[in-house]
Structure 1
Amino acid sequence: MLRRILLSTLFLATAMSSSAWADPTPDAVANMINNAGEQIGTVELFSGPAGTLLRLDVRDLAPGPKAIHLHAVGTCDDHDHGFTDSGGHINPDGNEHGLLNPDGPGAGDLPNFRVDEFGYAWAEFFTSLASLDGSVGAHILDEDGAAIVIHENPDDHMSQPIGGAGDRIACGVIEASD
């Protein structure tokens, strides 16, 4: 009898893990490229009732803390020129930069993340300052789109205009999922 209960419990746990706990399909994805134009990972975006969840999965970056921001223009075509065509951070209200700034933050400001000693990073961020459809905060997928940009250094969350984050080392155009 005990064996039957254990087997039933194992079957139920397996069934739940394969269906009830499955990852949701992202509402948008950014394929991240480096300055050489090579794909290094993705950022998946999920719409929520109070904002947007971003799931980062990247490789082949220098170890250490990095800044990440939502940029106002959906292009990464100028990878060999530092992704400057993606413009500044999403910031329709004209707030100062920085999550710790009393006159901020801008809608594109996000927390830092860390790349491990093997060049890999996985992180999740949540922002209530922007949404894909503009229903919460700034509109990410507006007429000129948006990009996610990773910088070489961490953001101090105060300095203008980018928190001392340094050069742009990776970029991904945010595109709605099919």
Structure 2
Amino acid sequence: MHRSSILLVASFAIVAAAPAAITRTSALKGASGVPAGQVTLTDAPNGVILRVEAQGLTPGWHGLHFHEKADCSDAMFKSAGAHVHMMSPAIHGLLNPQGNDLGDLPNLYVGPDGKGTVELFSPLVAMRDGTSRGNLLDADGSAVVIHAKPDDYMTQPIGGAGDRVACAEIR
């Protein structure tokens, strides 16, 4: 009598649990500190999802950028610094053939009621260390800034977007 053996091999894949998504929601403030909505950022494996819910703004298109400091303390929001960038000189513009800085984002449209909502993805930044992207949660944080005019995606240094009209600190 011939005996045959059946060998069962179990294969287990060891999968490291993905780190919990980092999410930050911050108040968006307009001129003189007037509430202007909120922004929510969620870290993703290859970038950041940004949701802006704005109110009380002038109807039309507005430039939208990540700025280098979580500081919206002065009336013109200049304390938020320049755009997030990792090289100098920083080249602005999503349509600029010489590249773009890490703070560049598509424009925000605000309707006749002064409200605008956008959800977009930036593959240029992160909300953690250990990536080749700019870390929005570094020691001094960052800010989301809305400008008075649309960004033309080419003109230096900010695409002709004009004054800063709303700001949210990201810590």
More moved, 40-49 vs 91-100: 91-100
Question: What is the SS of the residue equivalent to 1:125?
Answer: strand
TM-score normalised per structure 2: 0.84
| Matching residue of 2:140 | 144
Query: What is the Cα deviation at residue 141 of structure 1?
Result: 0.6
Q: Which has the larger helix fraction?
A: 1
Distance in 2 (CA, whole Å) between partners of 1:34 and 1:174 is 15
Distance in 2 (CA, whole Å) between partners of 1:136 and 1:113 is 27
Please tell me whether residue 50 in structure 1 is matched to residue 43 in structure 2. no
Report the identity percentage: 40
Residue ranges of structure 1 left out of the alignment (5+ in a row): 1-24
**Bigger Rg, structure 1 or 2:** 2
Query: Of the candidates 50, 74, 83, which is equivalent to residue 77 of structure 2?
Result: 83
Distance in 2 (CA, whole Å) between partners of 1:60 and 1:136 is 36
| Matching residue of 2:112 | 117
| Matching residue of 2:17 | none
Partner AA of 2:81 in structure 1: G
TM-score normalised per structure 1: 0.80
Query: Of the candidates 36, 42, 47, which is equivalent to residue 32 of structure 2?
Result: 36
User: When the two structures are aligned, how many residues end up with a matched partner?
Assistant: 149
Q: 1:113-143: per-residue Cα shift (whole Å, max 9, x none)?
A: 1000000011011100001114351111111
Contact persistence 1:128–1:136 (CA under 8 A): no
Contact persistence 1:30–1:147 (CA under 8 A): no
Question: What is the SS of the residue equivalent to 1:46?
Answer: strand
Distance in 2 (CA, whole Å) between partners of 1:38 and 1:100 is 33
Residue ranges of structure 2 left out of the alignment (5+ in a row): 1-20
Kindly report structure 1 stretches of 4+ aligned residues shifted beyond 6 Å.
none
Alignment RMSD: 1.3
